[in-house]
Each structure stands twice: as C-alpha cells, then as structure tokens.
Amino acid sequence: MGGVRVEAVSAPGPAGGDVLRHPDASTAAHAALLRGLVDWAATLGGGVRLLHVLEDVEDGAGLWALLRVHEPALEAVLAEHAVMRVPPPHGWSGYRAEGVLPTGHRLMIST
C-alpha cells in the first residue's frame, strides 16, 4: 500500500527492422532515468495522475517525462516544478508548462 508504482512499457520498432533510437535513449539510460525519478516521484503527492517517461526520436529530444496532474493540484505543481508556463489556449493534451527533472531531463506538465 502506498509507495510509487513504476511501470515500464516497451513498444516494437518499425516493421522494416530499423530501430529509431536517440543516442541517449538506450535501455540503460531508461533504467537510470527511472531509478533517478523514484524518490522524486514519491514527493509529488496525491495530485499526480500519471508520470510517463517517453522517448522522442523525431525531434531529437531523447528521453523526457510527462507529468499529468489533477486540476486542483495544478498550481502547486507548477509553482514547484515549472520553468516555463504556456499561456491559454493550452497545447496538446492540456499542456500547461515545461520544467526540468532532477535528472536534468525535460519535464512537460499537463492536466
């Protein structure tokens, strides 16, 4: 009961066999990022809905995270973790702000 649930999901690569990977997105890099986020995620509290770790191969961003929060907790999360807020109307998926993870990776915050 309680604690932080860490969920890792893998998706198959393209059918042609070529694997599109960012150079900084190896399996070891994913594992290091998840290990680095466990203690931080435990401090986020009940306002968080989901924390996704993602890999961006198209824009070259490498590994990053998406933090989805419940609307009532949004301002508190933004006050603590946002570096740049996005003015209304918000972008994709309720995107509200961008921050930096304790690991130095990009953090997107949405509702």
Q: What is the pLDDT of residue 29?
A: 81
Average pLDDT over residues 76-88: 89
pLDDT above 50: residue 74:
yes
Q: What is the pLDDT of residues 54-68, one digit of tens each?
A: 887 666 667 888 899
Task: Report whether pLDDT(10) > 70.
Answer: no
The better pLDDT of the pair 36, 8 is held by: 36
pLDDT value of residue 109: 93
pLDDT of residue 97: 93
Residue ranges of alpha helices (H) inside 1-111 are 27-42, 74-81
**Chain centroid offset of residue 35 CA:** 13
Is the CB of residue 96 less than 8 Å from the CB of residue 109? yes
Q: Are 87 and 77 in contact (CB under 8 A)?
A: no
Look up the pTM and report it: 0.76
- Region 92-109: mean pLDDT is 88
User: Residue length, the chain?
Assistant: 111
Pairwise CA distance, residues 100 & 37, whole Å: 12
Res. 20 pLDDT band, cuts 50 70 90: low
| Residues 86, 91: Cα–Cα separation, whole Å | 8
